[in-house]
Amino acid sequence: MNMMHKENGVTKDWKRFELGDQVLYVQPEIPDWIVISSDADQLLSSKKNDAASFYDRELLENAFGMEPLHPYSGRAAALHLSKLKECWFHITDVCNLSCRHCLFGASPAKTRSLAPELLESAVQQALALDCRLFSFTGGEPFLYPDFLGFLRTLLTENKDVHAAVLTNGMLLDQFLDELGAIDKFHLQISLDGLEKSHDGLRGKGSYKKLMENLVLMREAGIPFTLSMAISSENIEDLLQLVDIAAEVGAASIHLLYHFVRGKGSQEQFIPPDTILPALLAAWRRATELGLSIDNIETLRSQIFSTPGTRY
């Protein structure tokens, strides 16, 4: 149902949704939303024209009022850049795996990597812009020449900098001592479902090896999160992934949505309305286990932002 009203000559469309026993009105163009009681919903839907109903309805509709809606003029009109908060580097296409869903088509056969001097120069420029969060991905970052030496220097010379390293986790046992000696970083380790799903995407034996390395990470106290690239091949594993994350000591879970790009196929794609029920079930399970799914936390922060905020 659409609720129409005028304010300062501007017509606004509020769309009505039922969520269980709650009623939600959404204005997608602002955007804004409001949850109202069943009595208020009935009043808005009522066509009664008696004085009491009219004034009550008028008062309620004022709760939906905002400044007139102006055409969207782009982010630059509202946001002013003062510093760089976060910087990502894709440092190599070289990888020890050849995953069937890889967005970048990384593999052992690839040779392209970011030149070390270019990486160092870009990092220094980002630091000059007050960036304090760096993320490194690939390919497999631990195959980049002297990656741990570079990471150690970055974090020891810049006391308030934090780094995230996205990795398939297969090589971590080789760098256990070096990782244990570095502070202010965490690993985001890929786990794409249970053994059948994970091995089907990443190669036979990769699940078993990863599980062994996750136990080593937990025992060494090295901080890490788990990420899962959701596809039609592993969506059924999502709930059990939460249990595994809790068991191995992951700090949180991050979900990656499938792109039909690189090696990612259309057959692997899964629509959002199929993901949502599985995501909500996983979120409830994660809450029970004291884990967070950071996609949910990000969405929560956006939903409860100031009306008119766009992302």
- Rounded Cα distance, 9 and 30, in Å: 16
Give the model's confidence band at 261: pLDDT under 50 very low, under 70 low, under 90 confident, else very high.
confident
Count of CB atoms within 10 A of residue 265's CB? 15
Give the model's confidence band at 2: pLDDT under 50 very low, under 70 low, under 90 confident, else very high.
very low
- Rounded Cα distance, 27 and 3, in Å: 10
- The pLDDT tens digits of the residues spanning 132-174 come to 999 999 999 999 999 999 999 999 999 999 999 999 999 999 9
Give the model's confidence band at 24: pLDDT under 50 very low, under 70 low, under 90 confident, else very high.
confident
Contact criterion met (CB below 8 Å) for 229 and 268: no
pLDDT of residue 59: 62
We find that the CATH architecture of domain 77-303 is Alpha-Beta Barrel (3.20)
For residues 163-177, b (16+ Cβ closer than 10 Å) or e, as one string? bbbbbbbbebeeeee
Contact criterion met (CB below 8 Å) for 133 and 153: no
Q: What is the largest CA-CA distance in the chain?
A: 78
Contact criterion met (CB below 8 Å) for 5 and 12: yes
Spell out the domain ranges in the chain.
2-62, 77-303
Q: Which residue matches tokens 């089907």? A: 200
Give the model's confidence band at 4: pLDDT under 50 very low, under 70 low, under 90 confident, else very high.
very low
pLDDT of residue 30: 79
Return the percent helix, strand and coil in the chain, to nearest 5.
Answer: 40, 20, 40
- The pLDDT tens digits of the residues spanning 229-258 come to 999 999 999 999 999 999 999 999 999 988
Query: Strand 162-167 vs strand 224-230: parallel, antiparallel, or unpaired?
Result: unpaired
- Rounded Cα distance, 119 and 117, in Å: 5
Lowest mean pLDDT among 3-17, 99-113, 178-192: 3-17
Q: Six-digit token pair at 263?
A: 């090696």
Residues 6+ apart with CB under 8 A from 269: 231, 232, 258, 260
Give the model's confidence band at 309: pLDDT under 50 very low, under 70 low, under 90 confident, else very high.
confident
- The pLDDT tens digits of the residues spanning 44-63 come to 776 555 555 555 656 666 66
Give the model's confidence band at 301: pLDDT under 50 very low, under 70 low, under 90 confident, else very high.
confident
Q: Smallest Cα–Cα separation from 93: which of 79, 110, 76? A: 110
Is it the case that residue 5 has pLDDT exceeding 50?
A: no
3-state class (DSSP) for residue 162: strand
Q: Six-digit token pair at 242?
A: 């939460």
Is it the case that residue 283 has pLDDT exceeding 90?
A: yes
The DSSP H or E segment spanning 4 is strand 2-7
3-state class (DSSP) for residue 45: helix
The DSSP H or E segment spanning 154 is helix 147-157
Mean residue pLDDT of the chain comes to: 88
Q: How much of the chain exceeds pLDDT 90, in percent? A: 62
